[in-house]
Amino acid sequence: MAERTLLVLFGSQTGTAQDTAERIGREAKRRHLHCRVEALDSCDVANLIHEPLVVFVCATTGQGDPPDNMKMFWRFLFRKNLPAGSLCQLDYAVLGLGDSSYPKFNFVAKKLHKRLLQLGGNPLLPVALGDDQHDLGPDAVVDPWLVTLWDKILALYPLPPGLEIISPDVCLPPRYTLHYLPEDSPHPDSELLQPTAPRAAPCELHPFAARVVSNQRVTAQSHFQDVRLIEFDIADSGITFSAGDVVMIQPQNCPEDVQLFCQLLRLEPHRRFVLQPTEPGTSLPPLLPQPCTIQYLATHYLDISCVPRRSFFELLAYFSTNELEREKLQEFSSAQGQEELYSYCNRPRRTTLEAMWDFPHTTCAIPADYLLDLIPCIRPRAFSIASSMLARPERMQILVAVVRYKTRLSKPRRGLCSTWLASLNPEQGDIWVPLWVKKGGMKFPADPATPVIMIGPGTGVAPFRAAIQERVALGRRGNCLFFGCRNKSKDFYCQTEWEELVTKGFLTLFTAFSRDQEEKVYVQHRIRENGRLVWELLSSGNAHIYLAG
């Protein structure tokens, strides 16, 4: 009988596709299939020719682009020299997650399905196109599609004699078990957060711990928005970047949240443990040291401030000893309860920690072994780099608007990364931030004679500050910037820097301060007023236009 193995591969930007892929993995285990769930770029694409059964779960980002963790796979799959029948032994299914308010809705899933077909793959069923815009979210498509998928898979790979599908009432074993170390076991000398000089260029698995040099508020104290210009020391990091590139920053939870989390779950923050995979072949989480403390796990790894997904409530329901709480959790994890879940979680942006607070009897009964199944890991945040290496060789700057807003919940919502960054005070001692650099989507012209028109309202001006610094260092003059903000006196970022460059003849600057007069004035008004100049730069100067916001 054919070996009952399934490979689930995902391309995920915000974590939804990964969450769905892990759900398919759990459903496969209930059907006694040997299943691996991996990011597309983590698997060896050349081995696809040996895989009998693969489910692809892919999100579409931006303007029809593949997510970052499937870019290498995407390039390989569309190579011209791949033979037409190379995937003829592959049974596959593609599940797309997208948003129909974008013109290239589920573009990646549609194109992947078509390409696998070209290479000889055999689709088990038509591509599924999950839609964020649907009242029930992508699950409206995903749920019925999965029912059909399992029918097809079980027809090809029937259950072994004597085995039945594991009932949804039974909780599956955790991915890892936590083994506490005796309290008197020796501590390793290495401090978990000390910076280490990496051998290769820093990346997600090996970030560089950059020292914070300065953290300066660049909006007036009276202004409603707190915006920071933060500078990092990247000497000896091996990091290089150019204008338009992006820095990825790995944030951490605030101490108050970590303390509350440990209290709710009755965990001792300083207990040390090692993780052991439940099944052979499961790799350990790459960013967790072994051994590790509960405090480190809750500070640096578990995303307790994210809005919890349906799968969170589904797993939580198994641990509930309280009937009322269990009923509510089961409702939130059912297909019928998705609207209710949306108004409980997504609309008010309720965090995982707040949801745990609302289910206290269940929360204190969560076995520590299940923490990594229950709560996703903290995702890195991307920021446009706001400085040039040509101007400041061993430094990197970012412009950060601190995210803070109100919903119907009494406590204001705060962005995890921006709030953490704003709280760092380098005057109180050395502070290290884990970061690495990614190529950005903006490429500035190589020809020094090509003029550049940049439109950057608010913190959207960040990549243009990098570009202008770079171009000025190379002696290039055709720089035209349209900048917009609310008030000249409150949020005109880098004002003196721009004015100096205007005086030196390196920059043509147009500003729109929307609230400084009766009539609101925005960058588009300034572009219209200066239409003749813009047209001249485009028609005779072959100018490039860039927009960031």
Contacts with 248 (C-beta within 8 Å, 6 or more apart), sequence order: 204, 207, 380, 381, 382, 435, 436, 437, 438
Q: The tokens 């040997």 sit on which residue?
A: 34
DSSP 8-state code for residue 189: S
Q: By the 8 A CB rule, do 132 and 98 touch?
A: yes
* Nearest-angstrom CA–CA distance, 61 and 90: 27
Condensed to tens digits (0 to 9), the pLDDT of residues 155-196 reads 999 999 999 999 999 999 999 999 999 987 776 644 445 455
Going by C-alpha positions, the residue among 278, 300, 280 that lies closest to residue 289 is 300
Q: Closest Cα to residue 145, out of 11, 55, 258? A: 55
- Mention every residue, 6+ apart, whose C-beta is less than 8 A from residue 6: 28, 33, 34, 35, 36, 53, 54, 55, 153
Q: What six digits make up the tokens of 260? A: 């509350």
CB contact at 8 A, 239 and 231: no
Contact criterion met (CB below 8 Å) for 307 and 350: yes
Which 3 state secondary structure label does DSSP give 479? strand
CA distance 232 to 214: 7
H/E element, 427 = none
Q: What is the pLDDT along the chain (549 residues), one digit of tens a residue?
A: 568 999 999 999 889 999 999 999 999 999 999 999 999 998 888 889 999 999 999 999 988 999 989 999 999 999 999 998 999 999 999 999 999 999 999 999 999 999 999 999 999 999 999 999 987 789 889 999 999 999 999 999 999 999 999 999 999 999 999 999 998 777 664 444 545 554 678 999 899 999 999 999 999 999 999 999 999 999 999 999 999 999 999 999 999 999 999 999 999 999 999 999 998 878 899 889 999 999 999 999 999 999 999 999 999 999 999 999 999 999 999 988 988 999 999 999 999 999 999 999 999 999 999 999 999 999 999 999 999 999 999 999 999 999 999 999 999 999 999 999 999 999 999 999 999 999 988 999 988 889 999 999 999 999 999 999 999 999 999 999 999 999 999 999 999 999 999 999 999 999 999 999 999 999 999 999 999 999 999 999 899 999 998
3-state secondary structure of 409: coil
Q: Which tens digit of pLDDT belongs to each residue from 334-346?
A: 988 988 999 999 9
Residue 416: strand, helix, or coil = helix
Question: Tokens 């006694």 correspond to what residue?
Answer: 32
Instruction: Report the sign of the C-alpha dihedral through residues 442, 447, 448, 451, in that order.
Output: negative
Q: Which residues of 201-239 are buried (b: 16+ CB within 10 A; e: fewer)?
A: ebebeebbbbebbebeebbeeebebbbbbbbbbbeebeb
From CA 149, how far away is CA 518, in angstroms rounded? 60
Residue 142 token pair: 């995903």
E strand residue ranges, 90-146: 91-98, 122-123, 128-131
Structural domains of the chain ordered from first start = 5-156 (3.40.50.360), 208-250+380-438 (2.40.30.10), 255-374 (1.20.990.10), 452-547 (3.40.50.80)
Please give the torsion angle defined by the CA atoms of residues 116, 119, 121 and 126, in that order, rounded to the nearest 10 degrees: 40
Q: CA dist 383 to 27, 54, 198, 248, Å?
A: 37, 35, 22, 6
* Amino acid making up residue 462: A
Q: What is the signed CA dihedral for 88, 92, 95, 96, rounded to 10 degrees?
A: -10
Find out whether 178 and 368 touch, Cβ atoms under 8 Å. yes
Cα dist from 394 to 216, 235, 463, whole Å? 18, 5, 18
Q: What is the dihedral of CA 140, 141, 142, 143, to 10 degrees?
A: 60
473: its two tokens: 């260092």
Q: CA torsion angle for 247, 250, 255, 260 (degrees, to 10)?
A: 130
State the DSSP H helix or E strand holding residue 340, giving kind and residue range, or none if neither.
Answer: helix 338-341
Please count the other Cβ atoms lying within 10 Å of the Cβ belonging to residue 77.
Answer: 20
Q: What is the pTM of this model?
A: 0.91
Strands 381-384 and 5-11: unpaired
Q: How far apart are CA 229 and CA 219, in angstroms?
A: 10
- For residues 270 and 118, what is the distance between their CA atoms, to the nearest angstrom? 55
Amino acid at 163: L
